[in-house]
């Protein structure tokens, strides 16, 4: 294969970047798993079965026989994929049924499906917030939240982790904002901390702010019936204004993410959210597995 001078120079630059990762001790390797995701897994080179403490398959539903059966049946009935975005010819009845189930599960008006919660976070902030608005984000929020906020044009504030005094101080700096949006993980994935959601909602009420929670590490198993941190703290459904979450962790681990909240917001996201408008719709088998998993939560 012939290499141009430009490509050769680019390779040198990239190799320098790779070497810096090695030197920093942050090089990532991938375990090769040769079994289903489960409590015990087979890993290439160690086929006897290892205890798995690092999966997000919190309820073990990714290998549940009824979930697998639902996926197989959908594959036969609806095919492998839609080869289309939702608004052209990529919406089947099962997509709408799952969105309705998600909205009912969280006690919200409506829900919108994405290929992942990373996409849901990428789609939300850019559409909801303008330069007249302000977003206030916990400093330890997930990378997808950070990247999503970068895409929006609102004034950006980062408050100290779970520090309500600092959050309130930041809110005082942006009282003139049209929309003030407080953004937090429900459960923080790196250390398992739980956001003080009751305090956040109380502060939001005082400053007329909206509250957003990313519930990826809470949906399905946190709270009495698995409805996440809102339920865990005994808050009424809807006290948190907007929830983003995933179908790819406790709810079985296949794929998919969503936003659920006010109908007007969900409708606007269907019209303008770029990850929704310009990505193929979630495959039927994945939708069916997620819909079946909702019966176990």
Query: What is the pLDDT, as a whole number, of residue 49?
Result: 83
Residue entry with tokens 């942006």? 174
Per-residue confidence (pLDDT) for residue 188, from 0 to 100 = 97
Looking at the predicted structure, is the pLDDT value of residue 217 above 90? yes
Task: Tell me the mean pLDDT in the region 268-289.
Answer: 97
Q: Which of 64, 189, 279, 294 is catalytic?
A: 189
- What pLDDT score does 253 carry? 66
Q: What is the average pLDDT across 200-221? A: 98
Instruction: Quote the pLDDT of residue 296.
Output: 54
- Section 253-281 average pLDDT: 96
Q: Across residues 168-182, what is the average pLDDT?
A: 98
pLDDT for the residue 297: 58
| Candidates 106, 162, 180, 249; catalytic one | 249
Active site residue 28: no
More confident residue, 47 or 163: 163
Report, as an integer, the average pLDDT of 195-217: 99
Among the listed residues 95, 217, 245, 292, the single catalytic one is: 217
pLDDT in tens, 47-80: 778 999 999 999 999 999 999 999 999 999 999 9
Residue 44 has pLDDT above 90, yes or no: no
pLDDT on residue 175? 96
Q: What is the pLDDT of residue 45?
A: 74
pTM of the model as a whole: 0.94
Mean residue pLDDT across the chain:
95
28-42, 69-83, 132-146, 152-166: the lowest-pLDDT one: 28-42
- Could you give the C-alpha distances from 131 to 179, 239, 280, in angstroms and in order? 10, 26, 30
Q: What is the pLDDT of residues 10-30, one digit of tens each?
A: 999 999 999 999 999 999 999
Nearest to 289 by CA among 259, 256, 245: 256
The DSSP-derived string for the chain is ----HHHHHHHHHHHHHHHHHHHHT-------B-S-SSSEEEETTEEEEEE--S-S-TT-GGG-HHHHHHHHHHHHHH-S--SS-HHHH---HHHHHHHHHHHHHHT-SEEEEES-HHHHHHHHHHHH--TT-EEEEETT--HHHHHHHHHS-SEEEEEPTT-HHHHHHHHHHTTT-S-EEEEEESB-TTT--B--HHHHHHHHHHHT-EEEEE-TTTBTTSSTTSB-HHHHTTPPTTSSSEEEEESSSTT-SS--EEEEE-HHHHHHHHHH-HHHHTSPPPPHHHHHHHHHHGGG-
What residue ranges define each of the domains in the chain, with the CATH number in brackets? 5-51 (no CATH), 64-296 (3.40.640.10)
Question: Residues 96-110: what's their mean pLDDT?
Answer: 97
The larger pLDDT score, comparing residue 31 to residue 177, is at 177
217 is catalytic: yes
Q: Is 249 a residue of the active site?
A: yes
- Note the maximum CA span of the chain: 64
């Amino acid at each position: 294969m012939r290499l141009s001078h430009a490509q050769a120079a680019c390779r040198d630059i990239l190799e320098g970047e790779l070497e810096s990762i090695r030197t920093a001790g942050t090089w990532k390797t991938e375990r090769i798993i040769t079994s289903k995701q489960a409590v015990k897994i087979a890993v290439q080179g160690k086929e006897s079965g290892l205890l798995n403490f690092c999966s997000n398959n919190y309820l073990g539903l990714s290998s549940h026989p009824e979930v697998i059966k639902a996926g197989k049946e959908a594959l036969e009935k609806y095919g492998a994929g839609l080869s289309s975005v939702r608004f052209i010819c990529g919406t089947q009845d099962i997509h709408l049924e799952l969105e309705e189930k998600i909205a009912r599960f969280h006690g919200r008006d409506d829900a919108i499906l994405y290929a992942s919660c990373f996409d849901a976070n990428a789609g939300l902030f850019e559409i909801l917030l303008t330069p007249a608005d302000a977003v206030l984000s916990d400093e330890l929020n997930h990378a997808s939240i950070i990247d999503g906020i970068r895409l929006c044009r609102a004034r950006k504030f980062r408050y100290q982790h779970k520090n309500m005094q600092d959050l309130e101080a930041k809110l005082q700096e942006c009282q003139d904002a049209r929309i003030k949006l407080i953004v937090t993980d429900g459960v923080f994935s790196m250390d398992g901390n739980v956001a003080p959601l009751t305090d956040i909602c109380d502060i939001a009420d005082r400053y007329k702010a909206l509250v957003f929670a990313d519930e990826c590490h809470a949906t399905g198993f946190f709270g009495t019936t698995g409805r996440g941190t809102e339920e865990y703290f005994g808050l009424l459904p809807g006290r948190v204004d907007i929830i983003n979450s995933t179908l790819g962790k406790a709810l079985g681990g296949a794929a998919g993410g969503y936003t659920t909240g006010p109908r007007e917001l969900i409708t606007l996201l269907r019209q303008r959210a770029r990850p929704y408008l310009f990505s193929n719709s979630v495959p039927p088998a994945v939708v069916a597995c997620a819909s079946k998993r909702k019966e176990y939560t």
